Structure formats: structure tokens, C-alpha cells
Amino acid sequence: MRNRLAAILPTYAAVYSLCFLAAFLLRFDFRLPEIYQQVALISLPLVLSIKFTVCMVTGEWKRTFRYTTVTDLFSLIAGVVVAAGASYLLLSTLLTGLPLPRSVLVLDAMLTLFAVGLLRVGIRVVSEGAKRAGDDGRALIMGADPDAVGIARSLQSGSRPFRVVGFVDDCPRARNTLIAGIPVFPLAIDGEPVADLKSLARRRQADFVLVPSTVEGDTVRELIRLFAGTSVRVQVMPTVGDLLTQRDRLNVRDVTIADLLRREPAQLDREAIDELITDRRVLVTGAAGSIGSELCRQIAALSPESLVLVDHSETGLFLVEQELIDCTIPLHPVVCSVVDERAMTQVMIEHRPHLVFHAAAYKHVPLMEHNPQAAIANNVGGTRLMVDLSNRFGVDGFVLISTDKAVDPSSIMGATKLVSEKYLQAATIDSLTRMMIVRFGNVLDSAGSVVPTFRRQIVAGGPLTVTHPDMERFFMTIPEAVQLVLQAGAIGETGDVLILDMGEPVKIVDLARDMIELSGLKYPDDIDIVFSGTRPGEKLTETLFYQREHGARKIHEQIYRAPGMIPSSRERIESELTRLDQALGGTRSEAIETLRAVVAALVTDSESVADDQSMPAAA
């Protein structure tokens, strides 16, 4: 600041002095009478003192010249007007014996405004010109809304400057218009296309096409394919909303697979989520997993009283703890398994959580086909223990994170998650704990999912392996899934099956093609795709609803509440789980057969009870 003032003070003193003296000369047509020469010399120090005082009050010298804005110019106008008024009052009082034309002060104000404004704008023009000389490239921006315009201005003056050579908008009125001196090109007028993006990018010599992060995935996918094989790169531009919620940094970045699947972000009920988490003790199982770790990140940002992280992976838990170590809330990492009754009971005694998010589970479908006992012990046994402990210790809320594979399960993993759902629903009959199930499909880029597999295969030079050309799945990004889990936990009621709206299913082969193109390669010229056949336990398509759940109603923009199918009694499901426990000591085939029988019995029992409950009462 001292270095800046050393340059600013003499400059402003010279500008103010020249403006004041020029005002006298203009007033008297450059033939200044001797009496007014005396007035000018006497009043100049007083006028400078007033103007300097106003500058200090308005913070004129704190405003960075390189980033002068309209706000700075309005502040300058206000300061000039105040200084002129104060100068008139002071000089009229002190110079009673000398004439002081009021027109001189008006001219002085006008000259000062022009000179200082020109100084500020000139410095900004020179600064931006120097940056443009070394910019990182020329860019077309998709859209011409306030977000696009604001970010474009920031990019031009940021640490990585871009020269924006045009906005591309779908509004027909955008034709022949300019925004901040940048032309706007309409995509179509009266339904007829007027802009070929490839030729437009070539004419404007664009190196980049910047896409706002709110643009739908289908549009991003079309742009990627349009510019495939050219020198033009399609990149994502964060919006102001992304910056405010810290979802992105102020920079453009390459398109990711998540951008291709992007939906309009859900409008979360922040007040309800804050009320659920803030100043509450929270426990997350499976805290080192993809969903569990993101749950911990988002929960930590909501100021809970404390956060307990439970996982059997020492390394994974260490990494999550290190990531959250700078947060201000108490963190309690616990290395243990959710099937260890003694250890988990001690955790509940020590920490007394208000909320439990149960994300711990074995989830890999083909692997669990070969390890049914492990899937039953962990997925069913872990859920059973956590539900029972939550009841025993009076937990306020319990959220079981389930999967679409629990619906009409064809795999061991799906079957164990179905049994877990049924046990939780049965437990709600005599429980004071608010318990609910959140069910969603595949989580994009989670550990062991298809995206990391495709990424490794691309690095290795291919081919990419897809099980079947018609295989399709529902996908969500990890942060999106966790936000909706928290939302469901805030608004759900006990016994609810809350199903997250995941949009339309995506074909795995299309996902593979997208990842090839995002890598700058072409299918099938550079990398091929081969079909390996479906694996044990896999279905071609998944569904999020049972037939009886198709009457689910929306309770939130992206959350459905399905009517629960409750078993006839707690004793019945306890009996079925005893059968499963006994099967754990047998062979693999015995465990599979017992699991199938238990699933069939529980589904049949639920449907019969639901039918009985829907029958009209006898007259």
C-alpha cells in the first residue's frame, strides 16, 4: 500500500491541480485577471485538502486500477460531487473578501471526473492489452446469459487469460448484437440454422469452445463429437453458482465423463439439511468408501457436533481423516468392521450418535457371486447389527444406503441388500428411531466401477470390454448422490423407501465411446470395443422400483417415496435371518440356495401382507 501511495499521491495532486487551474482558464477564456490569479493560488491548497480527504473516505486509492468497474466510476462521481460542494462551502466562508465564481467549481468537477476516469480506464486498457498479447487462446462461449458474460470477463482478466471471440446463443434476437464489444452469433433464426459451429470456430480462429457447467450432457456430447479430430478443444466453464458453492474454481477445465451425464442440479432444501446435521453427533459406516467418504466431506461442511468415521480399511480411513483434518469439528476415526458387535457397541457407548448413515457394504457383483458367505455376513449382518444398536441406543435417525440391484435381485449382492431392506422395515414396527432406506443406481467413477476400468484400458491402448451391446445402467455422480442422501435423510419418514431420480439409463457401450472421444481418440480407428458377455448375477437393465412401488410419489424434485412392503412380523424375519446365519457355516452352494429361499419367502410374505392391508374391511 505504501508503494502504491508513493505513486498515486503525486499523480492525483498533479491531476487535481491541473484541473483546478484549467477550470479558471476556461472560465476566463485563458485571459485570467490578476485578482483571480490570487484567488486560484490561495484556494488551490484548500481544494486539494478537501479532495484528498474525500478520496480517503471513499477509498479511492484502495481501488485497483487494473480492474476498474462501473462501481468504481459511480464512486468517483459521488466523490467529485461531494468535493465540489464542500469546496464551495469552505471557500465561500474563508474567502469573504475575494470573488469566487461558482462556475469554476463546476468546471473543476467536470474536468476532474474526466481526467481521473480517463486515467483509470486507460490503465485498465493497457493492462488488459498486455495480458491479451500473451493470452492462452481464443474462445467461443456457448450461451450469452449473465453467468456466461460474467465468467467471460473474469477469464479475460484472470491468471489464465482467454480472448473471447464470440458468444453462441440460441436466441434469434442475438443476431448482430455485441456484449462488452464481443459479437453474439445466433444458432438459428425462425427454426433455420444460421451458424455452423465448426465453420464459425474456423472463421473466428477459436482454439476453445467453452461450455457452461449447467448445459445438459447430451449437448456436451454433441459438441465433443462435432469437434473430434479438430484442433478445437471443448472445455467446461464454471458458473457463478458453482463458484459460490465451491463446486469449481474460476478456471476452464476439460470435459469429464460426469459432464456428459450432467442433469440440472437439484434445488436442495438447505434449511432442512442444516437442521438435520448442524450441532448433531453423526456416525458414518463405510467412511473410506466412495459414498461414505463423500458423505463425510459434505457432513463436515455442515458443522455437526462431531463426526465418527467407521471403516475396516486402515489406509482408506487414514486418507479420509487426512483430507478432513483441517476442519474445525471433532473427528473420531474408528478402524473396525460393522459385523464386530463388541467393537460397534463400544463405539455407540463412547460417541452416542444422533444420526447414523450406514454406507458399509460389499458391492462388487461378480466378486460377491464367488463369496456369498462374505456378502451375507457383511451386508445383512452389518445392517442388522447397526439397526439393532441404533434402536438400543436411541439414535434419532438411521439411513440405509441401498441399491437398485435390490429390486428383483439376480445377484448375491442385490439379494443381500434386499434382505437388509426388509430387516430395517420390520424393525420400524416397534422402533422409536426414524429409519429409512435410500435406493439409487450406479455411482459414476466410484472405486471399482466401470469408469476407472475403461480409463485403465484406454491408457493400456485398449480394447474396452463391454459385457453386452444392450447393457444399460442408471448413473449419478458421487456428490450428487450424497447430496440427495442427505436431503432424503432430512425429509424422509420412518419406514420410507426413498428412491433417487437418476434420469434415463445410459448404455454402457455409449459410455465407452464417450470416454474414448474424451481421451482425444476415435472409435474404432484408435481404440476398439469388444463384447465379453454378461457375467454371473448381471442383468441387462436395472429398475429402481418393485411393481408394487410404481405408485411412488415425488416428495422432492429428485426423490420419490415408495410405499413400503412390511413383513408380517419381526419374528418372521428373525426366523429367516437365523436360517441365513446357519448357512454361513456350510458350503458356498448351500449359502446361495438359502439366500434365494429367504429372498423368495420375504418378498412373498411382503406382497401377501400388502394385499391383506389393501383389502376392504368386512361389513
Pairing mode of beta strands 331-335, 355-358: unpaired
Q: Give the residues across from 209 on adjacent strands.
A: 140, 234
In contact, 453 and 525? CB cutoff 8 Å: no
- Measured CA to CA, the distance from residue 359 to residue 343 in angstroms comes to 17
Identify whether residues 246 and 292 lie together within a single domain: no
In contact, 206 and 139? CB cutoff 8 Å: yes
- Measured CA to CA, the distance from residue 217 to residue 507 in angstroms comes to 14
**pLDDT in the model for residue 260:** 65
Identify whether residues 151 and 87 lie together within a single domain: no
**pLDDT in the model for residue 552:** 64
In contact, 60 and 76? CB cutoff 8 Å: yes
Give the CATH number for residue 289. Answer: 3.40.50.720
Identify whether residues 297 and 375 lie together within a single domain: yes
Whole-Å CA distances, 282 to 308, 389, 494, 498, 578 = 6, 14, 18, 20, 30
**pLDDT in the model for residue 225:** 78
In sequence order, the 6+-apart residues with CB closer than 8 A to the CB of 290 are: 443, 445, 446, 447, 449, 478
Q: Give the residues across from 210 on adjacent strands.
A: 141, 235
Residue for grid cell 486509492: 61
What are the residue ranges of helices labelled H in 2-101? 2-27, 34-58, 70-94
Domain boundary among 100, 131, 162: 131
Exposure pattern of 164-183 as b/e (b: 16+ CB <10 Å)? bbbbbbeeeebeeeebeebb
- Measured CA to CA, the distance from residue 16 to residue 156 in angstroms comes to 32
Looking at the domain assignment, is residue 330 inside a domain? Answer: yes
Q: Give the residues across from 466 on adjacent strands.
A: 531
Identify whether residues 7 and 105 lie together within a single domain: yes
Question: Integer distance in angstroms from the first to the last C-alpha of the chain?
Answer: 89
Looking at the domain assignment, is residue 251 inside a domain? Answer: yes
Domain boundary among 255, 280, 296: 255
Identify whether residues 417 and 278 lie together within a single domain: yes
In contact, 522 and 228? CB cutoff 8 Å: yes
Report CA Rg, the chain: 34
Identify whether residues 220 and 297 lie together within a single domain: no
Looking at the domain assignment, is residue 265 inside a domain? Answer: no
Looking at the domain assignment, is residue 613 inside a domain? Answer: no
In this prediction the pTM is 0.65
- 405 tagged catalytic: yes
In sequence order, the 6+-apart residues with CB closer than 8 A to the CB of 121 are: 68
Phi, psi of 577 (to 5 degrees): -70, -30
**pLDDT in the model for residue 610:** 45
Domain boundary among 73, 107, 131: 131
**pLDDT in the model for residue 133:** 47
- What are 443's three cell numbers? 455411482
Identify whether residues 317 and 430 lie together within a single domain: yes
Looking at the domain assignment, is residue 615 inside a domain? Answer: no
Q: Give the residues across from 434 on adjacent strands.
A: 397
State which residues form the domain around 414: 270-608
Count up the domains in the chain and report the number.
3
- What are 40's three cell numbers? 486560484
Looking at the domain assignment, is residue 434 inside a domain? Answer: yes
Residue for grid cell 412392503: 565
Which candidate in 51, 363, 405, 539 is catalytic?
405
Identify whether residues 441 and 302 lie together within a single domain: yes
Looking at the domain assignment, is residue 496 inside a domain? Answer: yes
**pLDDT in the model for residue 305:** 95
Please give the average pLDDT of every successive group of 10 residues along the chain, which has 619 residues.
70 87 85 81 86 84 68 81 86 73 86 84 66 63 76 63 78 69 71 65 85 75 78 75 49 63 62 90 94 92 94 94 90 95 96 96 90 95 96 95 87 93 90 90 69 83 86 78 86 85 78 78 81 77 58 72 65 89 91 93 66 34
- What are 285's three cell numbers? 459406516
Looking at the domain assignment, is residue 238 inside a domain? Answer: yes
In contact, 563 and 402? CB cutoff 8 Å: no
Identify whether residues 463 and 408 lie together within a single domain: yes
Q: Would you state the torsion angle of the CA atoms of residues 353, 356, 360, 365, taken in this order, to the nearest 10 degrees?
A: 170
Identify whether residues 345 and 410 lie together within a single domain: yes
- What are 522's three cell numbers? 476415435
Cα angle for residues 231, 234, 238 (degrees, 5° grid): 145
**pLDDT in the model for residue 161:** 60
**pLDDT in the model for residue 619:** 25
Cβ neighbours around 489 below 10 Å, total? 23
Comparing CA positions, the residue from 494, 483, 54 lying closest to residue 297 is 483
Phi, psi of 461 (to 5 degrees): 95, 5
- Measured CA to CA, the distance from residue 592 to residue 584 in angstroms comes to 10
- Measured CA to CA, the distance from residue 359 to residue 443 in angstroms comes to 13
Identify whether residues 480 and 547 lie together within a single domain: yes
Identify whether residues 327 and 355 lie together within a single domain: yes
